[in-house]
C-alpha cells in the first residue's frame, strides 16, 4: 500500500490468462504445400500406374507427412495476458459539529390606513335581451333526388343536400307525392 494524491492505493494479486494461438502468418504456405502434396500424389499415381489400393496407401502416407509439416509450420504459441487491479481507499474527512447562535430577526406587521379614496372608472356592459329566433322544426325530411323521406333523427337525413331537401310535419305529404319511406328509420318504427 502506498500513498498517491492523498489516497492509499493497494494492488491485488495479478491474474494470468493463457491462450493458445496458431501462427496465422504461415497459412498461405500451408495451403501452397498442401497443393504441392496433391500434385505429387497425382504425378506418382500416373507415372507408376498404381491401382486403387496402392494409390490410397500412398495418399495416407502423404497426408501423414503433410500433417507433420503443418504442425511445425503452424506451431501454436501461448499468449499470456496479465491483469492487475488497483484498489484505492479514500480517507473520509472528519466532520466537526460547530454550534453557533444566530439571531433571528423579528418581523412586525405594519398596518397603515389610507385616508384618501381612490377613484376608478368601472365599465359595466349593458346587455339587452336577445330575441329568440323562430326556427321551425320539421318531423320528416325528404330528398327530391332519391324520392325517399326520413324521420328527423335518421342518420341518412343528414346526408341530404340543402338544394334537394323537402320538409314537412306530416307523413301524408310525402305519400301523396309518391316518396318511398326510409328502410332504416321509418320501417323499423312500424315493425317495433
Q: Of 89 and 117, which is predicted with more confidence?
A: 117
How many angstroms separate the Cα of 35 from the Cα of each of 27, 30, 31, 90?
Answer: 13, 9, 6, 65
Pairwise pLDDT comparison (124 vs 92), residue with the higher score: 124
pLDDT digits (tens, 9 = 90+) for 2-26: 666 666 666 677 777 787 777 777 7
The percentage of the chain sitting over the pLDDT mark of 70, rounded to a whole number, equals 86
How long is the chain?
A: 192
Say how far apart CA 80 and CA 87 lie, in whole Å.
Answer: 23
Contact by Cβ (8 Å): 11, 89: no
Predicted TM-score of the model (pTM): 0.33
The three cell numbers of residue 149 are 323521406
Q: Which one is predicted more confidently, 6 or 84?
A: 84
102-133 pLDDT, tens digit each: 777 777 777 777 778 778 888 888 888 888 88
Alpha carbons 119 and 107: distance in angstroms, whole number: 33
pLDDT value for 160: 93
Query: Mapped to the 3 state alphabet, what secondary structure does the chain carry?
Result: CEEECCEEEEECCCEEEEEEECCHHHHHHHHHHHHHHHHHHHHHHHHHCCCHHHHHHHHHHHHHHHHHHHHHHCCCEEEEEEECCEEEECCCCCCCCCCCCCCCCCCCCCCCCCCCCCCCCCCCCCCCCCCCCCCCCCCEEEECCCCEEEECCCCCHHHCCHHHEEEECCHHHHHHCCCEECCCCHHHHHHC
Do the Cβ atoms of 149 and 142 come closer than 8 Å? Answer: yes
pLDDT band with cut points at 50, 70 and 90 for residue 165: very high
Q: Which of 112, 92, 185 is nearest to 142 (CA)?
A: 185
Which pLDDT does position 141 carry in this prediction?
95
The strand pairing partners of 148, in sequence order, are 143, 180
Task: Quote the pLDDT of residue 14.
Answer: 76
Amino acid at each position: 500500500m502506498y500513498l498517491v494524491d492523498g489516497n492509499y492505493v493497494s494492488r491485488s494479486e495479478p491474474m494470468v490468462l493463457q491462450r493458445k494461438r496458431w501462427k496465422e502468418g504461415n497459412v498461405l504456405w500451408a495451403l501452397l504445400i498442401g497443393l504441392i502434396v496433391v500434385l505429387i500424389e497425382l504425378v506418382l499415381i500416373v507415372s507408376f500406374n498404381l491401382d486403387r489400393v496402392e494409390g490410397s496407401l500412398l495418399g495416407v502416407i502423404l497426408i501423414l507427412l503433410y500433417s507433420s509439416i503443418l504442425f511445425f509450420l503452424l506451431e501454436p504459441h501461448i499468449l499470456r495476458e496479465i491483469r492487475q487491479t488497483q484498489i484505492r481507499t479514500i480517507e473520509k474527512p472528519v466532520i466537526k459539529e460547530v454550534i453557533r447562535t444566530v439571531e433571528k430577526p423579528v418581523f412586525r406587521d405594519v398596518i397603515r390606513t389610507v385616508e384618501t379614496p381612490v377613484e376608478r372608472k368601472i365599465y359595466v356592459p349593458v346587455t339587452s335581451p336577445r330575441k329568440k329566433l323562430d326556427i321551425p322544426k320539421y318531423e320528416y325530411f325528404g330528398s327530391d333526388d332519391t324520392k325517399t323521406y326520413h324521420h328527423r333523427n335518421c342518420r341518412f337525413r343528414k346526408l341530404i343536400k340543402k338544394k334537394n331537401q323537402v320538409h314537412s310535419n306530416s307523413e301524408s305529404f310525402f305519400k301523396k307525392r309518391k316518396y318511398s319511406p326510409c328502410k332504416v328509420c321509418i320501417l323499423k318504427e312500424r315493425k317495433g
